[in-house]
Amino acid sequence: MAYTVPTLTDYSTAALERASAELFSALGEEASAVKNEADWKVFRDRWMARKNGVLTQINDLWLKTAPKEAKRETGARVNEIKGKVEARVMLAKDHYENVAALRNVAKTRGLYPVDIRPSDSVDISLPGIRRPIGAEHPVVKTTNEIVRVFQKLGYSVAEGPVVETDYYNFESLNFPPNHPARDTQDTLFIAGQQAKAQRERLLLRTHTSPVQIRTMEKMRPPLRIVIPGTVHRNDPPDASHSPMFHQIEGLAVDTNITFGDLKGTLDHAMKEFFGSSVKTSFRPSFFPFTEPSAEMYVSCFICGGSGRRGSDPCRPCKQTGWIEILGCGMVDPNVFEFVKDNGYDPRKVSGFAFGMGADRIALLKYGVDDIQLFFQGDVRFLRQWA
């Protein structure tokens, strides 16, 4: 006899348990009777139709009429039932589709006849439920591609913690306490740290640069590393800002590393990544941990450096023909002082460093106009990289 949703008078836990068990057993029975699309549609509508489907009925007959003190528990039950019914309806579709597919395979290949029984027990002759294979996230893909360029040059990959101390994020990178350059970093601090010495206070790292120091503490020179990772800043989210984003840092230390090495390495890396026709340009800048410091621009790979796209202005480069890609510079001797005892005597070694935003590069590369799309997990967006 077909299941009908009973009215509830008793709302005790035991009564709710009994009522849902009855419902689940009917659900299982009806699901396993689904053999084709027509059956499935009837099954789906019977359980899920807005108008008078079983889910609507339990909402009306169980939840709406529940006495105040039982509302919460009944609500939780109804939600659980809703989830299970929805899952079972989807599964029933997979099941008959898979059975049909398997029959077809057996038929077209002239294989042994497969006995396909509709049953609630596990039928190991059935193919599994199809789960679509995910795609690499565009930011991960961009990061991997950039890291790969440096690996081919002999760089290793280093990583470090996202929750960092003031010492590694600032002090050892030559941002002394109260230095105004700290203000540019919009730092998110962990609450309740006032009792600790400043250098031990925890924060969310604002850049991947602290991993420079962490790695130099562990490994003696010469050193060539790239450091991909997540960073945080107190920026309200908008089309070009996100409080969480990604950077790729680089560090090379050896005897006699010069600014020429920096330029040659980064120029080569950009040509590998964006294509051999891009040009690079270095403009003076300031970072506390490098001296001299520069910002590197690449000729706009969207308009080819002309600043125009046909008769329209090129937006990504703001008609300048150049796009800012990263910050870089020669490691400041004050930074080496913090790791001097591990072989980094600033009179003996020199080095260059650089840091870039992976999300921004992915935005530019794929022509995405809103960084938020990277973090919303919308499959319709992410599927484009499948």
Question: Would you say 74 or 215 has its CB closer to ligand DAH?
Answer: 215
In this structure, what is the dihedral angle of CA atoms 356, 358, 359, 361, given to the nearest 10 degrees?
Answer: 80
| CA distances from residue 63 to 2, 58, 66, 368, 381 in whole angstroms, order as listed | 22, 7, 5, 45, 37
Question: Would you say 24 or 259 has its CB closer to ligand DAH?
Answer: 259
Q: How far apart are CA 282 and CA 324, in angstroms?
A: 10
CB 173 to ligand DAH: min, Å? 8
CB 284 to ligand DAH: min, Å? 12
Question: Would you say 46 or 241 has its CB closer to ligand DAH?
Answer: 241
**Do 328 and 296 contact (CB within 8 A), yes or no?**
yes
Q: Which residues bind ligand DAH (CB under 6 A)?
A: 207, 209, 249, 287, 290, 327-329, 353-355
In the chain, DSSP assigns E strands to: 156-157, 163-165, 202-204, 223-232, 244-254, 280-287, 290-299, 308-309, 312-313, 322-331, 350-357
Question: Would you say 170 or 273 has its CB closer to ligand DAH?
Answer: 170
- Determine the residue with CB nearest ligand DAH: 355
CB 142 to ligand DAH: min, Å? 17
CB 134 to ligand DAH: min, Å? 30
Sign of the Cα pseudo-torsion (39, 41, 43, 45, in order): negative
CB 72 to ligand DAH: min, Å? 47
CB 131 to ligand DAH: min, Å? 38
Question: Would you say 209 or 280 has its CB closer to ligand DAH?
Answer: 209
Question: Would you say 62 or 354 has its CB closer to ligand DAH?
Answer: 354
List of long-range contacts for 69-76, beta carbons under 8 Å, 24+ apart: 70/11, 73/11, 73/13, 73/16, 74/11, 74/16
Stated length of the chain:
386
